[in-house]
Amino acid sequence: MRVSRKAVYASVLILIGIILGLGISFRFDLTPEGYTDPRPPSISEEAVDILSRTNQAMAEVVAAVKPSVVNISSTKTIRVPGFGSPFFEDPFFRRFFGDEFGFFSRPREYKQSGLGSGVIVTEDGYILTNNHVVKDADEIKVRLADKREFVGKIIGTDPKTDLAVIKIDAKNLPAIKIGDSDKLQVGETVIAIGNPYGLSQTVTAGIVSAKGRANVGIADYEDFIQTDAPINPGNSGGALVNIKGELVGINTAIFSTSGGYQGIGFAIPSNMAKVVMESLIKEGKVIRGWLGVVIQPVTHEIAEYFKLKEEKGALVGDVVQDSPAEEAGIKRGDIIVEYNGKEVRDPDHLKNMVASTPPDTEVEVKVIRDGKPVVLKVKIAELPTEMQQLPGTFENIFKGVYVQDITHEVRQRLDIPGRIRGVVVTHVTEDSPARGILRKDDVIMEINRKRIKNTKDFQKVASRIRQGDTVLLLIYRDGSTFYLTLSGR
């Protein structure tokens, strides 16, 4: 049978088509799972525009704020006493070992240097920084962003908030605008500027992680802004600013077990810093307001007893005689829930608000009494000198220990015999060194064999205990008295 040439050509074409079709199918069948086109995806102009504007905005904020942040270097003299052993002066030893043998018997001095940051707050040279940056400094040098250097003079320090104000002799400086830290919200973007590890003008960014952090153990008055913006050694005293370029905090410390940044940093709110700064500049010291109450946290049990919806506020455990609180009619057992129109979160929050109130200011205090709200007007006074060390704020073994006087009501409620004199422990914070040793309702009768009759005695004796000291206490608990020791080591 003879096949035409056209038929052969047609068969070949059909065969080629089948092979190509199988090849294409085979190729797609062999495509690995998860295969993606190697060509990079395109970026939309809209996305690029948004990111570009964000970058430009951040750069503008930083450019506006950086000139206000300075580098602070301090030098202080450390004096080391000699051993004072008679062996060092013995002629016999000197004969064999020479006069150098007596080197350790003589007092010695050496210089210690430190680095930190500061923020220019006025055009005529006032700078806000941390107290620990300039503490005990013999010499302070301030270096501006434009590389000029000045000698700094300490105007005033406040260890209770870890703030200090120094002054340089200069004019027309780029002072930062101070913002309202109360308006700061958790989740807001913030920028930290400082000199970590001596690296000047370092900028980091993050968000506000939390507000109102207390019991951190850095200062007596704590109301810290917590941020994840990287803060490292040397950042202390630097600026924490919002997206408007306003100062909302003074960078103070990091939470770290290694000495480096681990995601948690703390800054002093600008509103607290502003009050302290103005007082230091005007008075050379900090003048704090005083209400005159001994307060404790509202626990879950207390909230249930007083039928409160939330565990917020400050429970009044005692009222100081002849204090503004007594004159205004605040009573023991009241729960302070509002101060000057602001909600009271806890005792530390109330303590900070009262301290920031200028003396002779009249404020409204809202309390819950017998389940009902009562609003009282209080004229705040100046914190008396003898009460500068507040209950629970000691930097020793009594840190976090709150006490009150034994009143007639307390004696009856706790069934304390008439022969027992002292102060009653109302609260021991979780971070207190005495936690687990002292208990709520313990009666402290003696400290280091000194009789304690009231809270004034307790304040006087406890304030003299040094950090690390071991203390002997005479305690009344559950119907019996006994001695126990609190070790500060």
Q: Quick one: tokens of 239?
A: 């600026």
Q: Provide CB contacts within 8 A for 154, sequence distance 6+.
A: 134, 137, 140, 164, 165, 166
Which pair of tokens denotes residue 217?
Answer: 């153990």
Sign of CA dihedral 477, 479, 481, 484: negative
Question: Do 229 and 204 touch, CB atoms closer than 8 A?
Answer: yes
Gap between the terminal Cα atoms of the chain: 113
For residue 139, the cross-strand partners are 75
| Cα–Cα dist 303/305, whole Å | 6
Residues serving a catalytic function are 132, 162, 236
Pairing mode, strands 224-227 and 202-213: antiparallel
Supply the DSSP string of 228-292, one letter for each residue.
Answer: -S---TT-TT-EEE-TTS-EEEEEEEE--SSSS--S-EEEEEHHHHHHHHHHHHHHSS---EE--
3-state secondary structure of 430: coil
Residue 152, class by beta-carbon neighbours within 10 Å (0-12 exposed, 13-18 middle, 19+ buried)? Answer: buried
Non-local (6+) Cβ contacts of 206 within 8 A are 189, 190, 192, 227, 228, 229, 230
326 — phi, psi (to 5°)? -65, -45
Q: Record the tokens describing residue 485, joined without a space.
A: 């020791």
| Cβ neighbours around 364 below 10 Å, total | 13
Listed residue (394, 402, 288, 387) closest to 346, CA to CA:
402
Give the SS3 label for residue 109. Answer: strand
Our CA angle for 256, 462, 350, nearest 5°, is 65
Q: What is the DSSP letter of 304?
A: H
Give which of 383, 412, 196 is closest to 279, Cα–Cα: 383
Do 140 and 151 form a contact (C-beta atoms < 8 A)?
yes
Tell me the two tokens of residue 483. Answer: 């001695």
